[in-house]
């Protein structure tokens, strides 16, 4: 009996199966962050392909948090009508869609922001330019920016909101002792470093109301020396229920960019589900539904993770760039394994290109 195609629930949101499209920056937006028509077509294709829940590419909640060119924005009410069209398109194709909201902090590109900001003015090799430390008033402003963005998500008709708390972006920066060196209430120890996330969740919940699905993608461990340890990450995990979240998707934090969260070369079952040990630990710390991402390629491994109870939902990014209809192909027995070879060639390298599978065709077993 397939666990993968059993219905599931995230808060009040009922889903037809356990497959989630993990947030994927599509790079299909104009200079103001408005989605282009090709994004609507992509979401419809994903919905028709049978995935239970689509999570949009990250959208910036404030202009100071635009991570890269062609990122979608959700920083103004003027953007609501264009976003509503996306939600409607997905619903029309029989799908469900949540929006991932984000602020890039120190990880924003020099192409999209004049200066970057962070909890503290740190420097590190992987930063394109060192950030400016945020004063308390700016912290409060951005908490509200997250809340207003979440209100827009709901007003546009989406099925839920996901707060991006992973991959070294602003929330991840607050959680991390590598970046957050503050001595005021927004820093010092895990409770202080968690305060920004807690305040964002409180403000979002106040805007969207008690029943609206509110998810988080959480980086539970940094990939830099002096960063957040797994034990601290599990401390954050334990606190999520009190932040009134409805589900947690597990990933990595600072330094958790392409090399650690988006691993290359997944060839065998042993390479798959690379964050599974973290999910197993998380299970003991929270009663929230767990969404696990990272390297899933075969139905066998997905079913195994679900049947052991290590996660409740399986989240896929690159396999759905490669084959948006993979869920239906698995459900009908046409295909057991994604054709994705995890070469990480799917990024858009030039403006106007958008994400696309660019791996050699002969490798794709279709
Ligand atoms: C092109 C591309 C864009 C991505 N954009 C996002 C994003 O907007 N938000 C996010 O949380 N993760 C993003 N990720 C990370 C994925 O959601 C996922 O965590 C990671 O790729 C591992 O899953 P996979 O092995 O199924 O690809 C992106 C990954 C890729 C390859």
3-state secondary structure of 157: coil
Whether ligand 1 lies within 6 angstroms of the CB of 318 is answered as yes
1 part of a folded domain: no
Work out the angle between the directed axes of helices 136-155 and 195-208 (0-180°, nearest 10): 30
Whether ligand 1 lies within 6 angstroms of the CB of 5 is answered as no
pTM: 0.98
Ligand 1 nearest-atom number relative to CA 58: 8
Is 15 within 8 Å of 96 (Cβ atoms)? Answer: yes
Q: How many domains does the chain have?
A: 1
Instruction: Out of 20, 21, 24, give the residue to mutate to test ligand 1, the one with the largest number of ligand atoms within 8 Å of its CB.
Output: 24
Q: Residue 1: its pLDDT value, please? A: 77
Range of the domain at 352: 8-363
Here the tokens at position 173 are 């920066």
2 part of a folded domain: no
Phi, then psi, of 271 in degrees rounded to 5: -80, -20
Q: Where in 204-304 does DSSP place strands (E)?
A: 214-219, 247-251, 290-293
Q: Residue 124: its pLDDT value, please? A: 85
Residue 53: half-sphere exposure toward Cβ, Cα within 13 Å: 31
213 part of a folded domain: yes
CATH number at residue 44: 3.20.20.70
Whether ligand 1 lies within 6 angstroms of the CB of 285 is answered as no
Here the tokens at position 18 are 């356990």
Q: Residue 255: its pLDDT value, please? A: 84
Q: How far apart are CA 364 and CA 297, in angstroms?
A: 13
Q: Residue 319: its pLDDT value, please? A: 98
Q: Residue 118: its pLDDT value, please? A: 98
C-alpha torsion 243→249→250→251, nearest 10: -110
Q: Residue 257: its pLDDT value, please? A: 61
- Smallest CA separation from ligand 1 atom 5, residue: 24
For each of the chain's 366 residues, which pLDDT tens digit applies? 799 999 999 999 999 999 999 999 999 999 999 999 999 999 999 999 999 999 999 999 999 999 999 999 999 999 999 999 999 999 999 999 999 999 999 999 999 999 999 999 998 888 888 999 999 999 999 999 999 999 999 999 999 999 999 999 999 999 999 999 999 999 999 999 999 999 999 999 999 999 999 999 999 999 999 999 999 999 999 999 999 999 999 999 998 566 689 999 999 999 999 999 999 999 999 999 999 999 999 999 999 999 999 999 999 999 999 999 999 999 999 999 999 999 999 999 889 999 999 987 655 554
- Smallest CA separation from ligand 1 atom 21, residue: 262
Phi, then psi, of 55 in degrees rounded to 5: -110, 125
Whether ligand 1 lies within 6 angstroms of the CB of 164 is answered as yes
Q: Residue 349: its pLDDT value, please? A: 87
Q: How far is the CA of 255 from the centre of ligand 1 (A)?
A: 14
243 part of a folded domain: yes
């Amino acid at each position: 009996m397939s666990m993968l195609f059993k219905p599931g629930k995230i808060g009040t949101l009922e889903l037809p199966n356990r497959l989630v499209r993990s947030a994927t920056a599509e790079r299909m937006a104009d200079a103001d962050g408005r989605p282009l028509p090709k994004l609507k077509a992509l979401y419809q294709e994903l919905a028709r392909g049978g995935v239970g829940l689509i999570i949009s590419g990250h959208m910036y909640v404030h202009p100071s948090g635009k991570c890269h060119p062609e990122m979608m924005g959700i920083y103004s009410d003027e953007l609501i009508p264009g976003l509503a069209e996306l939600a409607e398109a997905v619903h029309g194709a029989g799908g469900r869609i949540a929006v991932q909201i984000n602020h890039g902090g120190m990880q924003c590109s020099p192409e999209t922001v004049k200066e970057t900001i962070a909890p503290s003015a740190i420097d590190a090799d992987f930063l394109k330019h060192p950030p400016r430390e945020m004063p308390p008033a700016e912290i409060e402003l951005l908490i509200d920016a997250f809340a207003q963005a979440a209100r827009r998500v709901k007003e546009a008709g989406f099925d839920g909101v996901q707060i991006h708390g992973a991959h070294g972006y602003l929330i991840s920066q607050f959680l991390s002792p590598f970046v957050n060196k503050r001595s005021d209430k927004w820093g010092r120890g895990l409770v202080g470093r968690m305060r920004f996330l807690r305040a964002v969740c409180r403000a979002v919940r106040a805007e969207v109301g008690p029943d609206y699905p509110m998810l988080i993608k959480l980086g539970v461990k940094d990939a830099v020396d002096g960063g957040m340890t797994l034990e601290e990450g599990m401390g954050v995990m334990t606190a999520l229920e009190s932040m009134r979240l409805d589900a947690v998707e597990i990933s990595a934090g600072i330094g958790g960019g392409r090399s650690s969260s988006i691993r290359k070369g997944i060839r065998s079952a042993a390479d798959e589900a690379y964050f599974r040990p973290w999910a197993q630990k998380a299970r003991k710390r929270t009663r929230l539904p767990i969404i696990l991402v990272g390297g899933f390629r075969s139905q066998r491994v997905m079913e195994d993770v679900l049947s052991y109870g290590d996660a409740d939902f399986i989240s896929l990014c690159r396999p759905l760039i490669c084959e948006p209809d993979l869920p239906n192909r698995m459900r009908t027995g046409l295909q057991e394994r994604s054709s994705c070879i995890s070469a990480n060639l799917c990024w858009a390298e030039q403006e106007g290109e958008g994400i696309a599978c660019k791996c050699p065709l002969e490798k794709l077993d279709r």
